[in-house]
């Protein structure tokens, strides 16, 4: 037996132990624009259900769980150690390696939500239920990424980081780290803030700036994170407590204002129901009137923010009407794979005209508005939505400053036109620059 063990270990050192084979050179993209992009090798991990290819190296045979552990204790001891500390290992009978990866070493699989759903059907079904609420949401995150035109158009190095978070739709270890899958890990704010951080998703800043987050920073290390997400179990709420109450993996059922980047009617039937759910969660700790006051303040903040944004949108549309946006739509590459943009070039202003997706082929003043609408507006909303009022106030100051700066640029553009300033032909610079050539040749 000792000789057989050493023989197996030797084989495992000679071939990849993870069961990856790498993507074939002709691997096809996925989503609405599948024919326009090719996946990188990491897609096999980010979207295993679509791209994983079983390893067909020298290690062959069908193995039982104890045999897997015998070899991997030597080859990947950290993985085995994590598994031994998991509920999978301590259940009766234990959930061994073949349950998730298969028995045949020539056909090993990377687990997908469907794999997890064989034992956890209720949790996977809850996550799938998010889809009925549309974007944004975990269940549609991968689809949201690969269906975007800019995803297929831009060099993959620029969008690869997006999938590290958007892959939450196609694998469960975004929140439950392999191979422990410990709920106590997933309940801590850091599990969420791995992705919900930075300018496009400033939830980390908002939470830690709030009274809830401040108390967590002071006391969280002493709390018993093995306790379920129920009333009375935690001194102050965390991300998971509010968004996944009682462990519900459907996290889109209280998003009244979505991400805050699109103006919506908060009084629709759907949002009325969502408000009741949100109020119910707040009522675990606060009197109902306090929760209702919170919503009045949030609604007021949204009205103020959109008033500022629409004022700047109106200014940019006026500049467009005066042909003062440079480079114009005819002077720069059309929006990726957009036939209408090629036939009828037009500068995109505001959410409803598509500015939300125009990350790079815009002029300076348009980019200023994009950052105002996406980053500053989002910070103002996230701060108020998480109870970080000072953060919201600070981002409103930035909204005001951006609005003033854009207005000053608009005056400069108009004054320059009135002075008869000679226009420079910008088309050669934008149509044939280094970035444009690289993008055209490599995608």
HSE, side-chain direction, 13 A CA sphere, residue 207: 23
Q: Give pLDDT, residue 257.
A: 83
pLDDT tens, 170-219?
999 988 889 999 999 999 999 999 899 988 889 999 999 999 999 999 99
pLDDT tens profile 147-178: 887 787 776 677 777 888 999 999 999 888 89
- Identify the pLDDT of residue 5: 47
**Per-residue pLDDT at 404 exceeds 80:** yes
- Residue 228: pLDDT above 50? yes
Tell whether the model's pLDDT for residue 3 goes beyond 70.
no
Neighbours of 85 (CB within 10 A): 13
Average pLDDT over residues 51-58: 82
Q: Other CB atoms closer than 10 Å to residue 270's CB: what's the count?
A: 14
CB atoms within 10 A of CB 46: 24
- For residues 433-438, give the mean pLDDT: 73
- What torsion do the CA atoms of 134, 362, 303, 322 make, to the nearest 10 degrees? -130
Of the ranges 4-13, 46-55, 98-107, 203-212, which one carries the lowest mean pLDDT score? 4-13
Would you place residue 39 in the very low, low, confident or very high pLDDT band (cuts 50, 70, 90)? confident
Cα gap 200→402, rounded to integer Å: 17
pLDDT score at 358? 64
Residue 317, helix vs strand vs coil: helix
For 235-245, the pLDDT digits (tens) are 999 999 999 98
C-alpha to C-alpha distance for 371 and 359, rounded to whole angstroms = 10
CA separation, residue 334 to residues 28, 33, 123, 320, 352 (Å): 24, 17, 43, 16, 18
For the chain, give the percent of residues with pLDDT over 90: 55
End-to-end CA distance of the chain: 53
Residue 384 has pLDDT above 60, yes or no: yes
Report how far apart, in Å, the C-alpha atoms of 47 and of each of 50, 56, 247, 344 are: 6, 20, 24, 36
As a whole number, mean pLDDT of residues 363-375 equals 91
Q: Determine the Cα–Cα distance for residues 61 and 50; give it in Å rounded to an integer.
A: 25
The one-character DSSP state at 267 is T
The answer to whether the bond into 136 is cis (omega within 30° of 0) is yes
Q: Count Cβ atoms within 10 A of the Cβ of residue 209 and give its class: 0-12 exposed, 13-18 middle, 19 or more buried.
A: buried
* 144-148, 226-230, 347-351, 380-384, range with greatest mean pLDDT: 380-384
Domain boundaries, the chain: 300-442
- Whether this prediction's pTM lies above 0.85 is answered by yes
Q: What is the pLDDT of residue 77?
A: 96
- pLDDT band per the 50, 70, 90 thresholds, residue 429: confident
Q: Is 107 helix (H, G, I), strand (E, B) or coil?
A: coil
Please, what is the average pLDDT of the chain? 87
Q: pLDDT: is 135 or 179 the higher one?
A: 179
412 φ, ψ to 5°?
-65, -40
Instruction: Give the pLDDT of residue 439.
Output: 67
- Cα–Cα distance, 298 to 292 (Å, whole number): 10
Residues of the chain above pLDDT 70, percent = 91
pLDDT tier at 17, thresholds 50, 70, 90: very low
By C-alpha distance, which of 110, 128, 99, 117 is closest to 22? 110
Nearest to 110 by CA among 153, 155, 170, 61: 170
What pLDDT score does 6 carry? 43
pLDDT category of residue 346 using cuts at 50, 70 and 90 = confident
């Amino acid at each position: 037996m000792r000789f057989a063990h050493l023989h197996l270990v030797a084989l495992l050192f000679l071939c990849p132990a993870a069961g990856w084979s790498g993507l074939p050179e002709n691997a096809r993209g996925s989503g609405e624009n599948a024919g326009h992009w090719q996946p990188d090798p990491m897609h096999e991990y980010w979207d295993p259900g679509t791209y994983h290819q079983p390893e067909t190296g020298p290690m062959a045979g069908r193995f039982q769980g104890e045999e897997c552990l015998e070899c991997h204790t030597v080859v990947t001891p950290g993985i085995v150690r994590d598994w031994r500390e998991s509920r999978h290992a301590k259940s009766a009978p234990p959930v061994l390696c073949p349950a998730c990866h298969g028995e045949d070493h020539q056909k090993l699989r990377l687990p997908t939500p469907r794999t997890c759903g064989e034992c956890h059907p209720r949790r996977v079904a809850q996550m799938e239920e998010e889809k009925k609420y549309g974007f944004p949401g975990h269940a549609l995150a991968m689809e949201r990424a690969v269906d975007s035109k800019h995803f297929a158009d831009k060099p993959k190095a620029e969008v690869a980081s997006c999938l590290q978070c958007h892959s939450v739709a196609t694998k469960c270890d975004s929140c439950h780290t392999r191979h422990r899958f410990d709920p106590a890990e997933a309940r801590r704010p850091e599990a969420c803030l791995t992705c919900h951080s930075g300018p496009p998703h400033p939830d980390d800043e908002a939470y830690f700036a709030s009274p809830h987050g401040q108390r967590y920073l002071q006391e969280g290390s002493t709390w018993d994170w093995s306790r379920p997400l129920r009333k009375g179990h935690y001194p102050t709420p965390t991300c998971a407590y509010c968004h996944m109450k009682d462990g519900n993996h459907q996290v889109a059922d209280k998003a009244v204002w979505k991400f805050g980047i699109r103006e919506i009617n908060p009084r629709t039937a759907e949002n009325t129901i969502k408000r009741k759910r949100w109020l119910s969660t707040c009522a675990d700790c606060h009197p109902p009137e306090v929760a209702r006051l919170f919503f009045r303040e949030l609604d007021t903040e949204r009205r103020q923010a959109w008033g500022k944004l629409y004022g700047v949108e109106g200014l940019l549309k006026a500049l467009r009407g005066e042909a003062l946006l440079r480079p114009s739509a005819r002077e720069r590459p059309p929006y990726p794979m957009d036939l209408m943009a090629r036939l009828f070039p037009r500068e995109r202003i505001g959410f409803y005209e598509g500015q939300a997706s125009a990350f790079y082929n815009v002029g300076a003043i348009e980019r200023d508005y994009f950052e105002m609408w996406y980053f500053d507006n989002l910070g103002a909303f996230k701060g108020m939505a998480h109870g970080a009022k000072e953060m919201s106030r600070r981002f409103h100051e930035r909204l005001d400053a951006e609005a003033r700066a854009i207005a000053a640029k608009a005056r400069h553009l108009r004054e320059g036109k009135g002075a008869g300033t000679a226009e420079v032909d910008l088309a050669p610079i934008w149509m044939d620059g280094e970035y444009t050539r690289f993008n055209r040749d490599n995608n």
